[in-house]
Amino acid sequence: MSVKETCPLCHNDGASEFHRDKLRPYFRCSTCALVFVPALFHLTAREEMQRYELHQNNPEDDAYRAFLMRLGSPLMERLEPGAVGLDYGSGPGPTLSLTLAENGFPTEIYDPYFADDPTMLDARYDFLTCTETVEHFRNPAKHWEQMVDLVKPNGWMGVMTSLITEDTDFKTWHYARDDTHIAFYSHSTIEWIADRYSLKLEVIDDSVILMKKAD
């Protein structure tokens, strides 16, 4: 009998093994199509923190700013002037928040490791950004629900993560080789999330997703 796992996004208990490499197995959910690494194979919080501290996220790096503006530019086109946002999972070198603020959209930051101010989670925002973060979620159901709740009615969510597509060769995919990446999304998964939370979905490309909350 094949081993089954419970999906950490939709809680379907029939996820089956999708791939296995030398370090860990990957399961895929038949309901929401999330590909995930079982909790037994997650890094410890300390190990994870050590990996993040190696990231070279520098707001003075023009190339890094340009990378983040793949999300920032289409998001700003949809925001009302002066809209206030939150960068959820801002990381060790918050950059998108600075760029948005420079363009007239004040943006707070929250990160459980580098900017752990829980008062940021008590407010509600006109928009929320989450760049290169959802793939790290140990409990994606909890975090997606929290992100949606942080956004005001008619507000926007902007997410950046590399999606699994028909052209993805998972066994050689660089995104799956990062041992802090434990949740992998496809277009089907993003559509499931949008439907679950009644969000209007706009897929800009295979790594940039915009979602508008209902009024």
Provide the pLDDT for residue 56: 64
User: What's the confidence (pLDDT) of residue 53?
Assistant: 76
168-204 b/e (C-beta count within 10 Å ≥ 16 → b): beeeeeebbeeeebbbbbbbebbebbbeebebeeeee
Residue 108 near residue 97 (C-beta atoms within 8 A)? yes
Asked whether residue 94 is assigned to any structural domain, the reply reads: yes
* 10-residue averages of pLDDT along the chain (215 residues): 88 95 96 97 91 74 92 98 97 92 98 95 98 97 98 98 97 95 98 98 98 95
Helix, strand, or coil (residue 133): coil
C-beta atoms surrounding 27 within 10 Å? 22
One-letter amino acid of 55: H
Do the domain assignments include residue 168?
yes
Tell me whether strands 35-36 and 183-184 are parallel, antiparallel or unpaired: antiparallel
Domain with 186 in it: 45-213
Q: Could you give the number of structural domains in the chain? A: 1
Residue 11: inside a domain: no
Q: What is the CATH number of the domain that holds 150?
A: 3.40.50.150
Report phi then psi at 174, rounded to 5. Answer: -60, -30
pLDDT of res. 54: 73
Q: Which residue has the tokens 């998964």?
A: 189
170: tokens are: 């998972």
- Position 12 in a domain: no
Confirm whether 18 is domain-assigned. no
Each as own residue / partner, the long-range contacts of residues 25-30 (CB below 8 Å, 24 or more positions apart, any chain) are 26/170, 26/176, 26/184
Assess if residue 198 is contained within a domain. yes
**How confident is the model at residue 1, as a pLDDT?**
53
Tell me the two tokens of residue 137. Answer: 């979620």
* CA pseudo-torsion sign 75, 77, 78, 84: positive
Write down the pLDDT at residue 62.
87
Q: Could you tell me if residue 174 is inside a domain?
A: yes
Three-class HEC string of 53-98: CCCCCCCCCHHHHHHHHHHHHHHHHHCCCCCCEEEECCCCCCCHHH
Look at residue 59 and tell me if it is in a domain.
yes
